[in-house]
Amino acid sequence: MKIAIISRNAKLYSTNRMVEEAKAKNHEVRVIDPLRCYMTIASQRPTIHYKGEELTGFDAIIPRIGASITFFGTAVVRQFEMMNVYSINESVAISRSRDKLRSLQLLARKGIGLPVTGFAHSTQYTKDLIKLAGGAPLVIKLLEGTQGIGVVLAETGKAAESVIEAFRGLKENILVQEFIKEAKGADLRCFVIGDKVVAAMKRQGGEGEFRSNLHRGGNATLAKLTPEERLTAVRAARIMGLNVAGVDLLRSNHGPVVMEVNSSPGLEGIETATEKNVAGMIINFIEKAAKPGKTKTRGQG
């Protein structure tokens, strides 16, 4: 097979591992920087060009689209879909998962456990919004934040009001969420491929840190999931429409709650903590799934 990995940096651990595994299985693989692509939008023969050459003959792509380039990155993925190239995660699903508010609304509609979440435009009713989210302490998140950046724990109602007003003063959209105290600064990263959780790790925040992101100094260990946690992770990925996803769960007093569904989950932490060949599992999935016409949306939506 001829596989393209859509990634800005070929030296990243995740990108490099998938290149290694694809080559080990005798596939032709190429890393393509989406920001260096340009396209012709045509009904008869849509094309993608890269550094002066037309890209043709690919059987499948693996999108590794960073949050900062979601708009253009998904446009590139959509163009491949229009050319009938199989994408392991489709453009619509990536866009859906990147919109924090939209993804939470979709998960809530399907009955997935979530922290109580508030969202508003005006600061006129901030006190009532805080009350609806369960009161302080609570977590305030920027809609565009990633890797724990733009996430604040407000210990008191006054602190929450100040943070909300400050963010809104900067014209930022925010979510106000219930603080799951019983999680004790830890979450579960469930790596889903297809309809199965293939690996899971527990991420624990550093001393005095409520955010468990590895980029913020957290540490990761192998996690044993309950059947309910596995089912929740698989359902969340399916609702987003993702074949490959990192689903982040918290263990609350009322069962597992989903914090986020990530369409480009990193491989380094999960492979190190679990000692599983997750990159190889992704390539195995593509071998079974990548057939012409298997892309559901074909660039629609």
The predicted-structure confidence for 41-92, as pLDDT tens digits, reads as follows 988 899 999 999 999 999 999 999 988 899 999 999 999 999 999 999 999 9
Return d(Cα 162, Cα 180) in angstroms, integer: 21
Confidence (pLDDT) at 228? 97
Confidence (pLDDT) at 210? 58
CATH class of segment(s) 117-179 = alpha beta
Q: With a cut of 70, list the residues of the chain below it in pLDDT.
A: 123, 144-148, 206-217, 292-301
273-294 pLDDT per residue, tens: 999 999 999 999 999 998 755 5
> What CATH code would you report for 96-113+182-284?
3.30.470.20
Bin 2: left if φ > 0, else alpha if -120 < ψ < 50, else beta.
beta
Return d(Cα 167, Cα 293) in angstroms, integer: 45
2-92 and 117-179 agree in CATH topology: no
By CB neighbour count within 10 A (0-12 exposed, 13-18 middle, 19+ buried), where does 54 fall?
A: exposed
Return d(Cα 26, Cα 22) in angstroms, integer: 7
Domain range annotation of the chain: 2-92, 96-113+182-284, 117-179
Strand partners, 187: 203
Q: Quick check: 34 and 69 in contact, CB under 8 A? A: yes
Helices 70-82 and 91-98: angle between axes, nearest 10 degrees: 160
Decide if domain 2-92 falls under CATH 3.40.80.10: no
Confidence (pLDDT) at 96? 93
Confidence (pLDDT) at 301? 43
Confidence (pLDDT) at 146? 59
Q: Quick check: 206 and 217 in contact, CB under 8 A? A: yes
Largest CA distance in the chain: 60
